[in-house]
A and B are shown apart, each in its own frame.
Chain A
């Protein structure tokens, strides 16, 4: 992109000068940015910008960015953490926070300079916003118009539960649900959007109905012996990956309000699931657009060099990627990766090289705007990287693959940014963003209906990668808290059980295949 043209001949046409923002300035920037964004066919929800102070930003931060939320100590912990980081100057606060809702709410900090506010408006109100509206995952999985209503319902409902059943009990329940939150996601069917009132009404109906439905486990009508022996179907008939859903519907001893709380946590997990799957794309898209839009502003002579210098400085900070051996390294920066891929995609369309034609025959030389919109609409991180990570980006970022096998004494470099490595690196990096591989594959396998009502889960191991033992033990305890009968978790590699965690009412065992039973008397209790 061309940017450093000087517009000496033009008369000063700047939207505003100086670094202090005013509401009028914001308005005018928004108008210009909106006009440009429309030119780039960015389709957005209506925008609602809310100017807040740093303290409020910290509040928003620690309630997972949402404007309302139920109370829980873990949010307090998050808040203290943020506050500490901010007050000591260790960490800047984000300039902006944006909520996938309709209208799309973006928080701007009052401390930002005018330039930063313009950047944030382009980034959040047009970049993220259009992503929320356009990407297929968000379209099918979350309902932007209902989320704030739902959170309001959740907050009130949980507050009611606290009044009725005591803060401690609700807190313990929420702890357990949070531990399983990643396993409260429906990967296949879409939740139906409903409003707050409807949700409340349905909740009451559900409460009444649900209790009658748990009774598969309690059914006591005697059957003929022959009938039992004839077939003993496994329950559930298919393994269940949505653990929280299974618990909500089937845990034998939960009371109706407890089921509802499980449901609330599950729903919220579901809402955030697309965000987890599109981190690179979402940030890359927003970064690409703030960069493109602000450069267009400059090309049109609407902002001056000072503005651009300040903007480029923040922009460079945002997309900075420390090397793997830097002390600041903490993984691949999603802003960098996403921005690099989208920018390179535009280059491939506009100025394709021979290599690009070979790697991207369909895309090279096509209309860049069409191609980018398509990439934004129909992919998630994993497929996006697999599809669009170009050799040039791999070279620019100097990506390389490391194999760490605990059977070998040393680690091996299996691919680098060269001719032989491109495809392999691309595949592996895509894998790295595949949530179903990054999170251990744990499913509910069976419930012993006729016996002790214990529940059995299978962790299907891949490449012998084990569970983090300490944490897994804690989570199993939480699961036991919800199920209230024995819980078995088997790790399975190639049809063989490699280790098991068994949790019963008052003890927890970890069994390794050598059958050395390690009895443990709960050395670390979960709730102090």
Chain B
């Protein structure tokens, strides 16, 4: 018997991906609501995973004609224990056990069932999460040194590497060349052949009539000429170097958009680990959001107390410092870094600052001036979140002046507890009605 074992494990396994996408698209509205709910409930414990989403089963059901409850129905069940023929028993509620439920009786499967639950991947989850948000002032800046190219097909060329040889085009042009070069000769051959035929016919006639053949010489002449012409025709090469055509590939420079994100955080004594955690979550959210908009993104961590320094991520979030707070030191450092490494004409610059609001009283006006004069003209968007359940401090009031000057590229919000992070984020990046 014919028998075949095939290993298909290496074949693609996402055959259902399209169908899955179709489903998600169809229930977009439901899913978006569920995602929003989920975010509220989970208060963004970690964003690195997807979540299970539930939709009322009624909404995803596919209707068919089938029987409902009622009428006179008889069913067979297995596993009788104490029943005898003729017993009357009470109708059980809601089917399932004794009376209603069973195979092929979908009447109670359509109603009162659990929600339809499924998992969204992180990618999909984020997509729904960030739906309706946008990066303000998104200007694609052209990098001076375009590093990336995309390769596009661009017709055919006469020279290239053998791998790109286009057989069809090459043969087509060879064919055209053969027609063009041989055209004249072929025409002559045709004419001569016709003449030859005529002469031979005549010669035959003459012979039949006993006349002397007059055209012998001409026939011989034509024959040699024909042989010569045919040889010439055969001499035309089938394929010439000249015919070869290669697929052409053109490189088109891609306008690369890259962004840098500045994270500024106060690490003075008043910032507890809790507050830092909240700040971290906010930064992560922003980072993920930016990553969806830009292919290339760099992150600069600046922490400060009375002194600002650029640090790596680990140090940024977890090392403790003590001492007072001078926010302006961080702004100054940021300005320097921008000037040195991220010229604003080739980088999209975003900045997020998190703090508990404490600052030396005299420093706040300095911060305001720094922002207005140096920083904000260069950045795309600057967000400030104040993580404190208490009243606003001097820094907040100083920043209110900044808002007045740069209403489009500066925003600030207050976060009181974990639950606020997503709503605040949402508010900061909400799609604004286009004016």
Contacts and interface: CB of A to CB of B under 8 A. Distances in A.
Given A27-B5, A179-B62, A463-B73, A468 B67 contact: yes
Contacts of A182: 64-65
Contact of B59 (A62, A87, A103, A528): A528
Contacts of B97: 324-325, 329
Given A52-B9, A84-B119, A440 B15 contact: no
A397 B77 CA distance: 9
B281 to A, nearest CB: 27
B4 A56 contact: no
Contacts of B70: 406, 464-466
Given A59-B15, A475-B65, A399 B5 contact: no
A330 B106 CA distance: 11
A97 B21 CA distance: 25
Nearest to B21: A76
Contacts of B68: 465-469
Interface stretch (A3-11, A284-292, A410-418, A502-510): A410-418
Interface in B296-315: none
B117 A59 contact: no
Contacts of B102: 331-332
A23 B85 CA distance: 56
Contacts of A413: 83-89
A73 B73 contact: no
Interface string A398-434: 1111111111011111111110110001001100100
Contact of B83 (A322, A400, A429): A400
B3 to A, nearest CB: 5
Interface string B14-31: 111011111111110110
Interface in B68-90: 68-81, 83-90
Given A71-B18, A398-B78, A414-B74, A77 B23 contact: yes
A47 B88 contact: no
Interface in B99-119: 99-104, 106-107, 110, 116-119
Interface residues of A, number: 109
B91 A528 contact: no
A76 B85 contact: no
Interface string B387-425: 000000000000000000000000000000000000000
Given A400-B80, A414-B85, A463-B71, A71 B19 contact: yes
B145 interface: no
Contacts of B23: 73-74, 76-77, 79-80
A171 B22 contact: yes
A206 to B, nearest CB: 27
Contact of B118 (A73, A81, A432, A474): A81
B46 interface: no
A48 interface: yes
A74 B27 CA distance: 11
Contacts of B116: 77, 80-81
B304 to A, nearest CB: 45
Contacts of A87: 119
A404 B75 contact: yes
A483 B70 CA distance: 30
B78 A323 contact: yes
A230 B62 CA distance: 45
Looking at chain A's contact residues, the main secondary structure is mixed
B1 A471 contact: no
Contact of B85 (A175, A421, A474): A421
Interface in A51-65: 51-53, 55-56, 58-60, 62-63
A471 B4 contact: no
Nearest to A77: B23
Contact of A403 (B21, B62, B67, B72): B72
B432 interface: no
B337 to A, nearest CB: 45
A323 B103 CA distance: 14
A399 B119 contact: no
A401 B75 contact: yes
A178 interface: yes
A417 B30 CA distance: 50
A329 B27 CA distance: 32
A478 B63 contact: yes
B85 A415 contact: yes
A30 B2 CA distance: 11
B187 interface: no
Contacts of B61: 471
Nearest to A440: B65
B11 interface: yes
A63 B91 contact: no
Nearest to B61: A471
A528 B26 contact: yes
Contact of A464 (B16, B30, B72): B72
A50 B8 contact: yes
B78 A50 contact: no
A14 B378 CA distance: 78
Given A46-B1, A415-B85, A397 B118 contact: no
Contacts of B13: 53, 55-56, 59
A38 B3 CA distance: 14
A79 B17 CA distance: 9
Contact of A63 (B16, B87, B90, B106): B16
Contacts of A405: 71-73
Contacts of A110: 9
B362 interface: no
B43 to A, nearest CB: 24
A442 interface: yes
A412 B88 contact: yes
A477 to B, nearest CB: 9
A47 B4 contact: yes
A150 to B, nearest CB: 18
Given A416-B85, A528-B30, A324 B98 contact: yes
A96 interface: no
Given A46-B4, A51-B8, A428-B74, A80 B20 contact: yes
A183 interface: yes
A275 B24 CA distance: 31
Contacts of B25: 73
Contacts of B77: 324, 332, 399-402
Contacts of B19: 62-63, 71-76, 78-79
Contacts of B3: 27, 30, 34, 46-49
B60 interface: yes
B79 A471 contact: no
A440 B101 CA distance: 17
Interface string B118-156: 110000000000000000000000000000000000000
Nearest to B2: A46
Nearest to B67: A465
B64 A181 contact: yes
B71 A466 contact: yes
Q: Which of A53, A464, A467, A468 has the most CB of B within 10 A?
A: A468
A102 B86 CA distance: 51
Contacts of A326: 79
Contacts of B73: 403-405, 463, 465
A399 B63 contact: no
Given A324-B97, A404-B100, A428-B76, A76 B71 contact: no
When A and B form their complex, which 5 residue pairs have the shortest distance between CB atoms, in order from nearest?
A323-B79, A331-B103, A76-B23, A465-B71, A76-B19
Given A411-B91, A465-B67, A468-B66, 14 more contacts: A30-B3, A38-B1, A55-B14, A56-B8, A56-B13, A74-B23, A181-B64, A331-B104, A398-B81, A399-B76, A413-B86, A463-B73, A466-B69, A475-B65
8 contacts: A58-B16, A76-B23, A110-B9, A404-B91, A413-B83, A467-B67, A468-B67, A470-B63
Interface of A: 23, 26-27, 30, 34, 38, 44, 46-53, 55-56, 58-60, 62-63, 71-81, 83-84, 87, 103, 107, 110, 167, 171, 175, 178-183, 321-326, 329-332, 397-407, 409-418, 420-421, 425, 428-429, 432, 438-440, 442, 459, 461-472, 474-475, 478, 524, 526-528
